[in-house]
Amino acid sequence: MKGPHAPRVAMLSVHTSPLEQPGTGDAGGMNVYVLELARALAARGTRVEIFTRATSSEQPDTVVLDGRDAEGRPLRGEPARALLLADEVPAGTVPPVLVHHVPAGPFEALDKNDLPAVLCSMAAGVLRSEAARLPGWYDVVHSHYWLSGQVGLLAAHRWDVPLVHTSHTLALVKNAALAPGDRPEPPARVVGEEDVVRAADALVASTGDEARELVELYGADPHRVHVVEPGVDLDRFTPGDRRAAREAVGLPADRPVVLFAGRVQALKAPDVLVRALGVLADGPGPRPLLVVLGGPSGSSTAVRELTALAATLGVGDDVLVRPPADRERLPLWFRAADVVAMPSRSESFGLVAAEAQACGVPVVAAAVGGLRSIVEDGVSGRLVRGHDPHRWAAALQEVLDDDALRARLAAGARPAAERFGWDAAADQVLKVYAVAREGAGRR
């Protein structure tokens, strides 16, 4: 039913599609966030349409996801369209989530830093969408990342609806934690973020730290900042048999395994793990295998540079690089690991840490951003201050060498992850929508 608890939402994810494989290019935790949040909202009767920039001429204009009638049968074609346009969503029915691919600029070979040049074209494509709907169709615009926020400003103004914005990452935070030699975010992004923060009716932060950063660094009105912790698919990411998982993904059964899952880029700092491996190689005990599950991001040579570093440090045979795993196989990789490592220099949340813990695997993570909220130091994993390879080597060795400690951390991992769920996140986001709509109605 259309109303404060079931708004029709135009969700914007301009620079990366929620349908893309996380772990390479610009696809990561945000892609999972957008898709899983949309699905959880739809399960509550909310009609969600996601708009993203088309990156291939072969992409369909619209992808229809997950709709079900009251008997649980999939909704496609005309039944799905009829439900989307109905005044009310019948009880027991789940409306489909639509993902629209909007042509804006060249399909391929467009770097994220070049996307501001096509935002006007993207905005025009989004605004045209209401021509296929009833007047006043959308109730809320929810933008993800600052580029989407720029488009969202125009759409929300044109449709006279509130803008809710989730930043996911902030330029000023990233620039304060750059890796040596890494390229800072450009000033234009900072200005763009400031515009969105100033104009949005509500800002959704993943953690209290991010909320504080929005207020202190960007001057956000604290009354418009709402903390909503992202969720984890607790049905998919579950504990399982390590030996069976290793057999399924092709890892040795009797060797300590450290897993890094994410984009290979300076921000995620997998080089810290390679350097830590070099430190461990000079010590006693079995040499662990570092599995890097991800692809290059920011630089097409990132993976080659990482493997070259491993070879230079004499641990080339101890580093195994594999492409990103899809959502079906990713839990197997987590279960196969003795420990999952996240040495990120900045993380607004750190979804991989929550997913790994949901699989009952300890996480050794940098004590930054959202990772401090997910990983309970000494309970579900270890938090490491700084990025010194010797400190990381010591933290990894402690967990790998102490069977009793590792078992205790593994036992605490799943309960730590159960604090996060998409159902709870969707409920809280709906409350944010209601507050934003009420505030916009008083303007």
Is 27 annotated as belonging to a binding site?
yes
Strands (E), 163-245: 163-166, 202-205, 225-227
Consult the annotation and say whether 198 binds a ligand. Answer: no
Q: Is 268 annotated as a binding residue?
A: yes
User: Is 193 labelled as part of a ligand binding site?
Assistant: no
Q: For 275, how many CA atoms within 13 A lie in the half-sphere containing its CB? A: 12
Known binding residue 177? Answer is no
Q: Dihedral sign, CA of 236, 241, 243, 248? A: negative
Q: And the tokens for 407?
A: 């078992």
Residue 362 vs residues 37, 348, 359, 369, 392: alpha-carbon distances, Å: 26, 20, 9, 18, 15
User: 433: annotated binding-site residue?
Assistant: no
Tell me whether residue 49 is annotated as binding: no
CA–CA gap between residue 349 and residue 344 (Å, rounded): 11
Instruction: For residue 104, give the nearest of 225, 15, 35 by alpha carbon.
Output: 15
The C-alpha atoms of residue 431 and residue 272 are separated, in whole angstroms, by 40
Q: Is 334 annotated as a binding residue?
A: yes
76 is annotated as contributing to ligand binding: no
442 is known to lie in a ligand binding site: no
Side-chain-side CA neighbours of residue 244 (13 Å) = 5
Contact indicator for 186, 172 with CB cutoff of 8 Å: no
Map residue 52 onto helix, strand or coil. strand
Residue 112 assigned ligand-binding role: yes
Does residue 46 have a known ligand-binding role? Answer: no
Residue 114 annotated as binding site: no
Q: Is 261 annotated as a binding residue?
A: no
CA nearest to 251, candidates 128, 337, 340, 370 = 337
Q: Is 420 among the annotated ligand-binding positions?
A: no
Has 357 been labeled as part of a binding site? no
Binding-site sequence positions for 1D-myo-inositol 3-phosphate: 15, 26-31, 112, 145, 169, 189
Binding-site sequence positions for Mg(2+): 334-335, 337
Binding-site sequence positions for UDP-N-acetyl-alpha-D-glucosamine: 21-22, 29, 263, 268, 347, 355
Binding-site sequence positions: 15, 21-22, 26-31, 112, 145, 169, 189, 263, 268, 334-335, 337, 347, 355
